[in-house]
Amino acid sequence: METYYDPADLKKFGNISEYQKELADKFFSYYGAVFAEGALTAREKSLIALAVAHTVQCAYCIDAYTNDTLEKGCTEEQMMEAVHVAAAIRGGSSLVHSVQMMNKVKQVSM
Amino acid sequence: MKSLKASGHPFAHAATQIELLEKQAATQPRPTFRSKLQSADLFPLRPAGLDVLQINVGKMCNQVCKHCHVDAGPDRKEIMTRETMQHCLDVLAKTTIPTVDLTGGAPEMNPDFRWFVEEIRKLGRHVMVRCNLTIIVANPKYNDLPDFFRQHQVDVVSSLPFYNADKTDRQRGQGVFQDSVKALRLLNAVGYGQPGSGLTLNLVYNPAGAFMPGPQASLEQQFKRVLLSEFEIVFNSLFAITNIPISRYLDYLVASGNYDNYMDKLVTAFNPAAATGAMCRTMISVGWDGQLYDCDFNQMLDMPLRAPGRHIRDFNADELMQRTIAVNEHCFGCTAGAGSSCGGTTA
């Protein structure tokens, strides 16, 4: 069955430089620098990326950072906790906006 | 769980494994190992020295690990005889090979293991033993192994695929982590891994699945922190090893549908520096029956060494240094990323 997502496309990410090399080079250089060891370890950054991947619901990113966190020695428990952080922020983001709803209710109600 | 051999699995035959490795390489749009070596100006691969004699003293083991490249287990009866060991000692006596790496199976299950270690040490050679840890607590007759290792100043190199029971037991069998912890504490108790003791205890990490190992230094840090805080265990270094796609690990890759993706990862991560530092360039592997190979993996694939003398009794160092090293698609496992060898990363 034909689908929009093909797992094999993940390996072709670098091909984006075919249509705009300069910007792609800058992006991949920046990308590499972001994930290098720094004030945060590469392992911590990988767990953050895994959580963000679930927030943006990018199938490529989930594939890539599931592998990457495993390679960096993360446990399944740590990986799931990272996804729960993403879920908590997403859920919390909805719920905290309910204060606006409550404000509006109070504003327009007798 | 039985060995592939005992269960009559097609991969018990080296030829079937090689056929799959070569057929896949021919049909998939990825370069062959030979072509990658050629592009790095490293083909044919040649020896760079002779630092290690790695001796497989038998395929018998008390464990049946899912990734084992030897297809070792309690049902394997292939064991090196004392006569073949004597041939190895003769070779050591007439050469200056500094290190002997004893492997198996569980090498300690060979009835002549202790005699062999003593004789090698008499020749003044550095000995390392690939101890699976659980053998130390498997039977009372093995309980004194830590003390035996200490007496003979043997380096202990032990597999521990993760610092928790879940991942370790999934790969090495139920209860292996718990027994490994007991054995590590016994090794620590006689001084192994303790600062200043001079007794080296190195651990080997290999991924419990179809992925590559991450940076060795970072993994070592994690292992040291957790093993110390949760189990009061200390060790010297962690070797991060890539699983090589042969034998039981090959079976796992094929059965789980991960083979092509895994090979793609290894090929994409080919690193000429890791190929330059590949362990086969500085070692000779001896099989339980005395046959010589370029490495333990070639040994399990029955890939003969390319020199006139192919048995330990016909060992000729000069001829061996002139040989070309036999390679195939499984070699991508040693040349990916930071490289992989029996001593960890190579690049």
Q: Tell me whether residue A68 is in a domain.
A: yes
Torsion of CA B213, B215, B221, B224, to 10 degrees: 30
Alpha-carbon gap: B252 to the closest alpha carbon of chain A (Å): 17
Q: Distance between CA B343 and CA B238 in Å, rounded?
A: 9
Q: Tell me whether residue A101 is in a domain.
A: yes
B153 to chain A, any CB pair closer than 8 A? The answer is no
Consecutive 10-residue averages of pLDDT for chain B (347 residues): 94 96 86 96 97 98 95 97 98 98 98 98 98 97 98 97 93 95 98 97 96 95 97 98 97 96 95 97 98 98 96 97 97 96 90
Q: Which of B149, B112, B153 has its CA nearest to residue B131?
A: B149
Alpha-carbon gap: A75 to the closest alpha carbon of chain B (Å): 9
pLDDT at A1 over 80: no
Token pair recorded at residue B330: 């499984």
- Give the helix ranges, DSSP H, for B64-130: 82-94, 113-122
Alpha-carbon gap: A73 to the closest alpha carbon of chain B (Å): 6
Q: Any idea what the CATH number is for the domain that residue A77 is in? A: 1.20.1290.10
Neighbours of B205 (CB within 10 A): 23
Q: Tell me whether residue A36 is in a domain.
A: no
Q: Tell me whether residue A26 is in a domain.
A: no
A65 to chain B: nearest residue by CA? Answer: B211
Q: Tell me whether residue A103 is in a domain.
A: yes
- Give the helix ranges, DSSP H, for A36-75: 42-55, 59-71
A70 to chain B, any CB pair closer than 8 A? The answer is yes
> Mapping DSSP to helix (H, G, I), strand (E, B) and coil, where does residue B217 land?
helix
pLDDT digits (tens, 9 = 90+) for A26-85: 999 999 999 999 999 999 999 999 999 999 999 999 999 999 999 999 999 999 999 999
Could you tell me the pLDDT band of residue A3, with boundaries at 50, 70 and 90? confident
B29 to chain A, any CB pair closer than 8 A? The answer is no
Domain limits at A51?
42-108
- Selecting from B218, B222, B264 the residue whose C-beta is nearest the C-beta of A42 gives B218
**Helices first, then strands: H and E counts in chain B:** 15, 8
Q: What is the pLDDT of residue A9?
A: 93
A42 to chain B, any CB pair closer than 8 A? The answer is yes
HSE (side-chain half, CA atoms, 13 Å) at B222: 23
Q: Distance between CA A74 and CA A79 in Å, rounded?
A: 7
Q: Do B126 and B101 meet the contact criterion of CB atoms below 8 Å apart?
A: no
DSSP letter at A49 equals: H
Quick check: B214 and A75 CB within 8 A? no
Tell me how many domains chain A contains: 1
B215 alpha carbon, distance to own chain's centre = 19
Q: What is the pLDDT of residue B320?
A: 97
3-state DSSP percent of chain B in helix, strand and coil, to 5? 45, 15, 45
Q: Please name the helix (run of DSSP H) or strand (run of DSSP E) that holds residue B313, with its range, or none.
A: none
A66 to chain B: nearest residue by CA? Answer: B211
B161 to chain A: nearest residue by CA? Answer: A73
Map tokens 């620098």 to a residue: A33
Q: Distance between CA B187 and CA B150 in Å, rounded?
A: 9
Give the domains, in start order, of chain B with CATH numbers.
10-335 (3.20.20)
Select the residue from A71, A76, A80 to test the B interface by mutation, using most B Cβ atoms within 10 A.
A71
B41 to chain A, any CB pair closer than 8 A? The answer is no
Q: Tell me whether residue A8 is in a domain.
A: no
B79: CB partners within 8 A, 6+ apart: B57, B58, B59, B60, B109, B110, B111, B288
Q: Tell me whether residue A35 is in a domain.
A: no
Map tokens 């004194």 to a residue: B144
ipTM greater than 0.90: no
